[in-house]
Amino acid sequence: MADWFDADGRRHRKQFNNSEDAKKHEHREAALAHAVRANRELKLSGATGGKKSARSETVNATNVEIAPAKGKLGVMIPGMGAVATTFVAGVEAIRKGLAKPIGSLTQMGTVRLGKRTDGRSPKIKEFVPLAGLDDLVFTGWDIFEDNMYEAASNAGVLDQRLLDQLKPFLSSVTPRAAVFDHNYVKKIDGPNVKKGKTKMDLAEQLRDDIRDFKKTSGASRLITMWCGSTESYIEAGEAHQSVKSFEKALRSNDEMIAPSMVYAYASLMEGVPFANGAPNLTVDLPVMLELSRQNEAPVCGKDFKTGQTLMKTILAPGFKARMLGLNGWFSTNILGNRDGEVLDDPGSFKTKEESKLSVLEHILQPELYPELYGDMYHKVRINYYPPRGDNKEGWDNIDIFGWLGYPMQIKVDFLCRDSILAAPIVLDLVLLMDLAKRCSELKGLGIQEWLSFYFKSPMTVPGLYPEHDLFIQLMKLKNTLRHLKGEELITHLGLEYYD
């Protein structure tokens, strides 16, 4: 499927028999659109003496309307563990001026506009209307009764002295009773769990929670962000094919419906966007896409791109760019937090493994480069090792080959902090999903593919392969923002500088 925007910002899609033809077509059309726009700009600057035409705040040249980010934005988090607490505590620390939002593209990143010679590179948060950090309010669900302060202290990611400075705020965020079933997360169990005869009853209780939070917090808009444990591996089946079959399955307690899907259903029914930080299917199902489009509640996922996979999607595009071959990539981790314990169960690990393995295949495209990548061996291991807590160590042994087939090796030893890498992703997703919900062009699309940048297994419409290359993902994200604001897309063609 080729997918491109023309010079007027209209989106086009065309089906091709193979991905190579689709890509070629997409590149050709994008370059053409760029050339047309460059030509128009040139004419316009001649006519206006170089001044830009005035643009309305809400409706721009591409007719995209973006409602202002007025009022509070309520963030609802199923799973108040290491990632969720590091995110919420971090936001509060930043609001109090105690720390900086390092790692957050929305807070620190810029977007270049126009030509390289124009010198226009505003901060993303000043370019598009995002909610401010002061407007965020929080709630969550968990099977344990700890409030955010206690949960953050248990997670052991952030310094206790910092947490103590944030104690009154963090203690005020207490978990609502969870929708949970031990069969989907074998390694944990807890007391703070909802009761109901059917899964539909549980979904109704979640919908009540959502309405209650909206009312009590005074939020004008809401977002759900799944930071719960990784559930056992499930493949999409009959129950997931339509809203009708899913609701029937909810009423009959079908085992194909995992708890995360109940949260997703409740959110989307309430018109609330849903982002999935774990590798579970959750919203990557026909029923959820149907609901998402129907209720204009954007969805995205799956599995935050942190640690080892982040490194993979940085290194692998480099090997491919230089046409270096790959014989094998062996990745292993030691991890001692609760996530590590959950992933020690083969069911949950299988879900994670699927997510981690797909990355290389898609970036390196062995079908296009059989001599370089046709025979690569890719293995991923996660070992639960309590002494390390959240401070994971990930080793990669990469066997590459170069000119005339001569072998070389690269070793990566990444001593990373998982939740420190994940928290800014959560912040960006909250703000950008809220933007999508306020944006006329994005809110009814369902999957927000432009947010692939943040995920190990980006969601796409069925039949379209996901883009895993971090740099292409970043370009896609920034071009989407440019497009929303009626700015010229940047293709890096650059021929106009040499006219």
Binding status of residue 79 toward ligand NAD by CB under 6 A:
yes
Residue type at 397 in one-letter notation: N
CB of 422 to ligand NAD, least distance (A): 4
Q: Does 179 bind ligand NAD (CB under 6 A)?
A: yes
Is 419 a binding residue for ligand NAD by CB under 6 A? The answer is yes
Return d(Cα 1, Cα 3) in angstroms, integer.
Answer: 6
Beta carbon nearer to ligand NAD, 57 or 159: 159
**Would you count residue 278 as binding ligand NAD (CB under 6 A)?**
yes
Interacting stretch for ligand NAD, rule CB under 6 A, among 199-207, 223-231, 292-300, 393-401? 223-231
Angle 87-89-90 (CA atoms, 0-180°, nearest 5)?
Answer: 60
> Does residue 227 touch ligand NAD according to CB under 6 A?
yes
Q: Which stretch binds ligand NAD (CB under 6 A): 9-17, 173-181, 446-454, 482-490?
A: 173-181
H helical segments located in 52-104 = 82-95
Q: Whole-angstrom Cα distance, residue 283 to residue 126?
A: 30
| The binder of ligand NAD chosen from 277, 301, 325, 394 (CB under 6 A) | 277
Determine, following the binding rule CB under 6 A, whether residue 451 of this chain makes contact with ligand NAD. Answer: no
Long-range CB contact pairs, 103-107, < 8 A, 24+ = 103/420, 103/421, 103/423, 103/424, 103/425, 104/424, 104/427, 104/428, 105/424, 105/428, 105/453, 105/477, 106/130, 106/427, 106/428, 106/431, 106/432, 107/133, 107/424, 107/427
Which residue's C-beta sits nearest to ligand NAD?
Answer: 81
Which of 26, 135, 142, 396 forms a contact with ligand NAD (CB under 6 A)? Answer: 142
Query: Does 144 contact ligand NAD by CB under 6 A?
Result: yes
Q: Which of 66, 111, 133, 178: binder of ligand NAD (CB under 6 A)?
A: 178
What CA–CA distance (Å, rounded) separates 246 from 335? 36
- Please check whether residue 272 is in contact with residue 226, taking contact to mean a CB–CB distance below 8 angstroms: no
- Segment 339-398, which members bind ligand NAD (CB under 6 A)? 339, 342
Q: Does 29 bind ligand NAD (CB under 6 A)?
A: no
CA–CA gap between residue 352 and residue 278 (Å, rounded): 8
**Spatial separation of the C-alpha atoms in residues 202 and 212, rounded to whole Å:** 15
The yes or no reply on residue 177 touching ligand NAD (CB under 6 A) is no
Residues in touch with ligand NAD (CB under 6 A): 78-84, 141-144, 155, 178-180, 185, 188, 190, 227-230, 259, 277-278, 303-304, 306, 337-339, 342, 418-419, 421-422
